[in-house]
């Protein structure tokens, strides 16, 4: 890929995506962040669901590290108004010298209507309006030295288009390599394309797929992800049954080389950055796997 504009944050070619930090006490989170930073991981991605506030969590991670970037994958637009998000975005980037990347998304019907009690009927137009209101927000604090970047969680063509028009790129999650080709074409050559990739470092097919299915089960039941996979040619029956073809397309498993080959495939398909989500049977911090993957990916 061609080099991105100097105006786009440099998060490196690879990163870590993880939700397991939310299940650890803050002291362990700080220790993990410091070690990942020392290892040279360029970027750490964290989600927002019903656990820690991602902006507060990002501040903890940024404080515990010195060079690693931290990104939200993603912060929900339903969790706070546009001015609050904009001001938090600016505050973190000024405090930590441009090391925070804001990933925004419309989340899902279940979390939005059932949990947060918001109307999810028009997620695309709501996102467009939200971005406009962010840009028009009043901020009287100290501005960061460089205008900070934002990316959108984007799967379908319209949200990918909005990622190119009103953001600095896209952060597709739970996608096979064929989606990366489509996403790159949709957002153009100059926007940041940061793709999430799940991996299981297990060569036994039955064990690897069992671990993968356990983590995939929630996502396969969410319409946004299901519709995206069906647009790519996977059938509703395959998704319902979590067939091997779906599992193998979304989750890379096997040896380290097998998993790294999937990361390389995303890069070859147009991704600037691939954030690797290590899946294991438990919910402990996968420090050994992060060390192993990092030793191979980080030069």
C-alpha dist (Å) from residue 296 to 35, 37, 219, 263: 16, 16, 29, 12
When pLDDT is cut at 50, 70 and 90, the band that residue 2 belongs to is very low
Give the contacts of 251 (CB within 8 A, at least 6 positions apart): 198, 199, 200, 208, 212, 215, 216, 279
What are φ and ψ of residue 245, in 5° steps? -60, -40
How do the domains of the chain map onto residue ranges?
14-196+259-297
| Tens-digit pLDDT profile for residues 68-102 | 999 999 999 999 999 999 999 999 999 999 999 99
CB 67 within 8 A of CB 15: no
Q: In terms of Cα–Cα distance, which of 33, 111, 19, 143 is closest to 72?
A: 19
Is the confidence at residue 5, as pLDDT, over 70? Answer: no
Alpha-carbon gap, residue 276 to 256, rounded angstroms = 12
Alpha-carbon gap, residue 242 to 11, rounded angstroms = 33
Across residues 6-14, what is the average pLDDT? 90
What are φ and ψ of residue 137, in 5° steps? -70, 150
Map residue 45 onto helix, strand or coil: strand
| Tens-digit pLDDT profile for residues 20-72 | 999 999 999 999 999 999 999 999 999 999 999 999 999 999 999 999 999 99
| Tens-digit pLDDT profile for residues 281-292 | 998 999 999 999
Across residues 197-203, what is the average pLDDT? 98
pLDDT on residue 33 = 98
At the top level of CATH, the class of 14-196+259-297 is alpha beta
Is the confidence at residue 132, as pLDDT, over 70? Answer: yes
| Tens-digit pLDDT profile for residues 163-195 | 999 999 999 999 999 999 999 999 999 999 999
Give the contacts of 78 (CB within 8 A, at least 6 positions apart): 106, 107, 111, 112, 116, 118
Exposure letters 258-284 (e unless 16+ CB within 10 A, then b): ebbebbebbbebbbbbbbbbbbbeeee
Is the confidence at residue 4, as pLDDT, over 60? Answer: no
Across residues 110-129, what is the average pLDDT? 91
């Amino acid at each position: 890929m061609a080099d991105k504009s100097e105006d786009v944050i440099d998060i490196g070619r690879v990163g870590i995506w993880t939700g397991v930090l939310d299940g650890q006490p803050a002291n362990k989170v700080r220790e993990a962040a410091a070690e990942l930073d020392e290892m040279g991981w360029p970027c750490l991605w964290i989600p927002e669901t019903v656990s820690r506030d991602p902006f507060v969590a990002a501040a903890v991670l940024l404080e515990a590290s010195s060079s690693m970037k931290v990104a939200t994958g993603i912060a929900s637009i339903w969790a706070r108004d546009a001015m609050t998000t904009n001001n938090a975005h600016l505050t973190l980037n000024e405090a930590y010298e441009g090391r925070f990347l804001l990933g925004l998304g419309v989340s899902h019907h279940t979390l939005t209507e059932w949990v947060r009690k918001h109307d999810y009927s028009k997620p695309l137009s709501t996102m467009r309006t939200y971005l406009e209101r962010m840009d028009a927000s009043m901020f009287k604090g100290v501005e960061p030295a460089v205008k900070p970047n934002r990316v959108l969680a984007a799967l379908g063509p319209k949200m990918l288009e909005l990622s190119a028009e009103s953001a600095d790129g896209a952060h597709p999650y739970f996608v096979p390599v064929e989606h990366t080709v489509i996403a790159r074409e949709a957002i153009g050559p100059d926007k940041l394309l940061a793709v999430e990739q799940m991996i299981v470092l297990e060569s036994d097919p039955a064990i690897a797929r069992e671990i993968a299915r356990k983590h995939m089960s929630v996502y396969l039941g969410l319409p946004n992800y299901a519709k995206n996979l069906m647009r790519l040619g996977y059938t509703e029956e395959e998704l319902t049954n979590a067939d091997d073809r779906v599992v193998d397309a979304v989750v890379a498993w096997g040896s380290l080389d097998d998993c790294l080959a999937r990361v390389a495939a995303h890069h070859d398909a147009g991704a600037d950055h691939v954030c690797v989500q290590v899946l294991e049977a438990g919910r402990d911090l996968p420090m050994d796997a992060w060390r192993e993957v990092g030793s191979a990916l980080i030069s």
